[in-house]
Amino acid sequence: MADIKDAYDVIVIGSGGAGMTAAITAHDLGLETIIFEKTDKIGGNTNKASSGMNASETSYQKAAGVDDKKEDFFEETLKGGHGTNHQDLLHYFVDHSDQAIDWLADLEIVLDNLTITGGMSKPRTHRPHDGSAVGGYLVKGLKANVDKREISVITQADVQEILLDQGQVGGVKVEIDDQVREIKSQAVIIASGGFGANAKLVEAARPELAGYVTTSGPGITGDGILMAQDLGAGTVDMDQIQVHPTVHQEEGILIGEAVRGEGAILVDGQGQRFTNELGTRDVVSQAITDLPDHKARLIFDQGVRDRAKAIEFYAAKGYVTEGDDLTELAEKIALPAEKLVQTVADYNQGIAEEKDEFGRTTGLHALDQAPYYAIEIAPGVHYTMGGLSIDQDGRVLKTDGSGYIPGLYACGEVVGGLHGSNRIGGNSIAEIIVFGRLAGQRAAEAVKDKA
């Protein structure tokens, strides 16, 4: 506590990808910045991200011969959100996604391995070079850049209140080591994540989700939203909560979309496919929920495992069952072997004939490389699309429509509106970088304007 100054130019609440991006950006524009993280571990939910970061018209796509267009990225995200996305935010997001990839590369965070996620027509999901999970790699890379700049990161620092001074944000009240202290600042950036781990808020917004497992870490409880609301901040889409279709139920670990993007299929308790595995998350989740036992099994081969390196983490956790062939795998996971063998044969034949029985057009790789694997999954609360209302400058808007709260910015999952009623896989990592940079930039401009 003694090492913390009485005042900073900018205070960032939350040390996930959005918070660290905002802090690095603000620092590089000349502002003295500090990050307060309420848990004992940096990275927040970014640590859990596995699929990748969506972006269009990037240098990596061009090098790989992928002909992508920002207009397509916009339209497919809008379609995925059922047309309810805030289009001004969506335009900013899409238009700055390639710059965000380049910015990360400048920080020696290279996402040059391409895959595809549900709802997208082109490989625009960028992963680390070896195809591994994006989250841990991103957190490690951002933290290295935070450390290089000597930006203070204080863990187990519970921000309890955002302070106002004559209508302008003036700092925060934070508890560290059982001591409460007021730290002044000219701007505050809220990057504290959504509210997926706050069962009361989830149930209040969507009563039918009571009792669902969540993929969110224990710190993702909506604190930033609640503190901003105390200042009169508005919210949007709070009832739009994404249920992810493929969650291992034991610890709420998400099985990333890249596994399906690289060829995995979903089968029911009879060993049969029942949906387009790369449909939008809401559709696939509902299809699983409608099954008699409300769960499914991801089936994949060694080829998928080689291409989706995140599987090694799931295997280390004990989630992956292996069989030398499909018959052995079926026996181990109590499925009818004959039906599972036929299901995979039909899937492979559909690929050869370019006619999938469920209309799947992406992530099509024949499952023909033994051994074979399975992971049992079911839906879980994954992401809160709703949150604070912001404008295209990242400023938090007032609930009464009278403008913004001076000095208050927000980025990442704490913000609502971008995704509409359904988030596309790979868009959350893009969001935290694109809007983390925006918040840092606009906060720096505002502070300098006051100087």
- Mean per-residue pLDDT for 163-179? 95
**CB atoms near residue 63 (< 10 Å):** 10
What pLDDT sits at residue 176?
A: 95
**442 catalytic residue (yes or no):** no
3-class SS string, the chain? CCCCCCEEEEEEECCEHHHHHHHHHHHHCCCCEEEECCCCCCEHHHHHCCCCEECCCCHHHHHCCCCCCHHHHHHHHHHHCCCCCCHHHHHHHHHCHHHHHHHHHHCCCCCCEEECCCCCCCCCEEECCCCCCHHHHHHHHHHHHHHHCCCEEECCEEEEEEEEECCEEEEEEEEECCEEEEEEEEEEEECCCCCCCCHHHHHHHCHHHCCCCECCCCCCCCHHHHHHHHCCECEECCCCEEEEEEEECCCCEECCHHHHHCCCEEECCCCCCCCCCCCCHHHHHHHHHCCCCCCEEEEEEHHHHHHCCCHHHHHHCCCCEEECCHHHHHHHCCCCHHHHHHHHHHHHHHHHCCCCCCCCCCCCCCCCCCCEEEEEEEEEEEEECCEECECCCCEEEECCCCCEEEEEEECHHHECCCCCCCCCCCHHHHHHHHHHHHHHHHHHHHHHHHC
What pLDDT sits at residue 20?
A: 98
- Output the CA torsion sign for 389, 394, 397, 401: negative
| All domains of the chain in start order, with CATH | 7-196+385-449 (3.50.50.60), 244-381 (3.90.700.10)
pLDDT(2) > 70? no
| Mean pLDDT across the chain | 96
- Mean per-residue pLDDT for 372-400? 97
Asked whether the beta carbons of 447 and 105 are under 8 A apart, the reply is no
- Mean per-residue pLDDT for 424-451? 95
- Mean per-residue pLDDT for 74-88? 97
Joined together, the tokens standing for residue 56 give: 């269009």
Alpha-carbon span 98 to 102, nearest angstrom: 6
Alpha-carbon span 109 to 316, nearest angstrom: 25
What confidence tens digit (pLDDT) does each residue in 243-275 have? 999 999 999 999 988 899 999 999 999 999 999
pLDDT(173) > 90? yes
Amino acid at 27: H
What pLDDT sits at residue 133?
A: 87
Asked whether the beta carbons of 255 and 375 are under 8 A apart, the reply is yes
Asked whether the beta carbons of 48 and 383 are under 8 A apart, the reply is no
What pLDDT sits at residue 178?
A: 93
Asked whether the beta carbons of 276 and 242 are under 8 A apart, the reply is no
- Mean per-residue pLDDT for 205-220? 92
Peptide bond into 371 cis (omega under 30): yes
Alpha-carbon span 344 to 407, nearest angstrom: 56
pLDDT(175) > 90? yes
Residue 450 banded pLDDT, cuts 50, 70, 90: confident
What confidence tens digit (pLDDT) does each residue in 91-119 have? 999 999 999 999 999 999 999 999 998 88
What pLDDT sits at residue 168?
A: 95
Asked whether the beta carbons of 18 and 48 are under 8 A apart, the reply is no
Residue 342 banded pLDDT, cuts 50, 70, 90: very high
Q: 269-300: string of b/e by CB count within 10 Å (b at 16+)?
A: eebbbbbbbbbbbbebbebbeebeeebbbbbb
Angle, helices 97-106 vs 427-450, to 10°: value is 80
What pLDDT sits at residue 39?
A: 97
pTM: 0.86
Alpha-carbon span 275 to 245, nearest angstrom: 12
Strands 235-236 and 241-248, by their bridges, are: unpaired
What pLDDT sits at residue 328?
A: 98
Catalytic residue among 124, 127, 273, 281: 281
- Mean per-residue pLDDT for 278-288? 93
Joined together, the tokens standing for residue 439 give: 């918040």
Alpha-carbon span 11 to 172, nearest angstrom: 8
pLDDT(51) > 90? no
Alpha-carbon span 168 to 179, nearest angstrom: 25
pLDDT(1) > 90? no
**Would you give the distance in Å from CA 230 to the centre of its chain?**
26
